[in-house]
A = this chain, B = another copy of it.
């Protein structure tokens, strides 16, 4: 929009001047200026092409022409609130309902995953008339006041834990309480939830919900053991609470085998509330809460209106519908499964060669590579992970880390990411790991003194 293009330093200087410094940049010491993007590729101001392994929002690919067209066509016609009847709203809700178990048939549309999780919390508390919530350790459910309260990832660094929030252990079978060698980790982790409920009941507390990301993401790309959701759902239901599945990061076909990540737990598992965000509008601010008629009716029984100014407008719904069309037409769910499996195999080959790689886990195009200092102790290789993503960036591959130890390489690319892209990433990763295999820890702790091979 500016009259003449600025260089990166000028943009950075203005950013420091005008934007709250709590809003962080990727690679803050050497940030990237991106001016255009297409599919799984982004381009900086000098025309360098980056392979995007991060952006789970640009779900069907950056600037997908059909999404852009749908937005434009609807913008030309009408963009107003949902207090008027409009077909896009009902078409979109109906279409989403076809992807979900029949029971989840009532929809609310909003502008962000955070807004969706906040509403989910209100729905649960209104329906149950209870207050308490169980969350999973290291979870992140959003940036709003109410969600910081239920996000251990955030509240541990801020105001601390509220008395109505209970933290259950992360069902991580690699580094958690019960591991791959446990005979029944699903039951063991679920029993931990039961213990929390029992203890709280002794203090006369009452549960509104168990709030869970279908695949804990910020916690380090965790795949809960199969059957865990059924067991904890039974516990929370017995306590009078509901099961909320946060699909904001992982929904819409990313996991390949299923459209929703909670379905990985089995056909018999149905959450009471599902929240959706990030990929839902391919970058356009859209979000959704799906729930049962029963919960929706308890919510409206208060007589208090729920009005969201922008939520469910015809443009957002047109875009959401188009994203669903593209996932279907381009068979992106099957593609995510195929490419994800291929990618995981290549990564497994790396694991055999590089002792830094402790664990590779994932489904579809949701993959974590857990880096360890020691294969036995499984101690997080945090600095090494940071070093690797810094080097990958120099190789024009955008990747981020996550997990409590920030030692998990986190792959969540646009779903058009292909097998060639996977090969490129693994080749570069191999090169970086080989170049410093003798003492990567030393390398990582003296980043500035490095003169590793650059470019390909």
Q: In the complex, what's the smallest C-beta–C-beta distance from A151 to chain B, in angstroms? A: 11
Q: Are A304 and B111 in contact (CB under 8 A)?
A: no
Given the known interface contacts A78-B63, A80-B42, A112-B309, the answer about A93 and B283 at a Cβ–Cβ threshold of 8 Å is no
- A115-123, A185-193, A226-234, A373-381: which lies at the B interface? A115-123
A42 to B314, CA, bound (A): 14
Which chain B residue has the least Cβ–Cβ distance from A106?
B20
A118 to B147, CA, bound (A): 11
Interface string of A138-169 (1 = CB under 8 A from B): 00000111100000001001100000000000
Which chain B residue has the least Cβ–Cβ distance from A146?
B145
Number of chain A residues close to chain B: CB under 8 A: 107
Q: Are B20 and A87 in contact (CB under 8 A)?
A: no
Given the known interface contacts A90-B11, A283-B313, the answer about A107 and B20 at a Cβ–Cβ threshold of 8 Å is yes
**Residues of chain A from 88 to 134 with CB closer than 8 A to chain B in the complex:** 88-94, 97, 105-108, 111-115, 118-119, 121-122
Q: Are B85 and A316 in contact (CB under 8 A)?
A: no
**A355 at interface, CB cutoff 8 A:** no
Q: Are A19 and B79 in contact (CB under 8 A)?
A: no
A33 to B143, CA, bound (A): 35
Q: In the complex, what's the smallest C-beta–C-beta distance from A272 to chain B, in angstroms? A: 14
Q: Are A35 and B1 in contact (CB under 8 A)?
A: no
**A352 at interface, CB cutoff 8 A:** no
Q: Are B300 and A20 in contact (CB under 8 A)?
A: yes
A184 to B262, CA, bound (A): 62
- A2-10, A331-339, A343-351, A427-435: which lies at the B interface? A2-10
Using Cβ atoms and an 8 Å threshold, which residues of chain B touch A12? 85
Interface string of A275-304 (1 = CB under 8 A from B): 001100011110000010000110110111
**A206 at interface, CB cutoff 8 A:** no
Q: Are A80 and B1 in contact (CB under 8 A)?
A: no
Q: Are A285 and B285 in contact (CB under 8 A)?
A: yes
Q: Are B85 and A31 in contact (CB under 8 A)?
A: yes
Considering residues A23, A76, A107, A305, which has the most beta carbons from chain B within 10 angstroms of its beta carbon?
A: A23
**Residues of chain A from 323 to 376 with CB closer than 8 A to chain B in the complex:** none
Given the known interface contacts A14-B94, A307-B143, the answer about A58 and B72 at a Cβ–Cβ threshold of 8 Å is no
A-B contact pairs, 6 of them (CB 8 A): A11-B90, A20-B296, A22-B299, A35-B77, A63-B75, A283-B315
Q: Would you list the 4 A-B pairs with minimal beta carbon distance, nearest first?
A: A18-B93, A14-B90, A79-B283, A33-B85
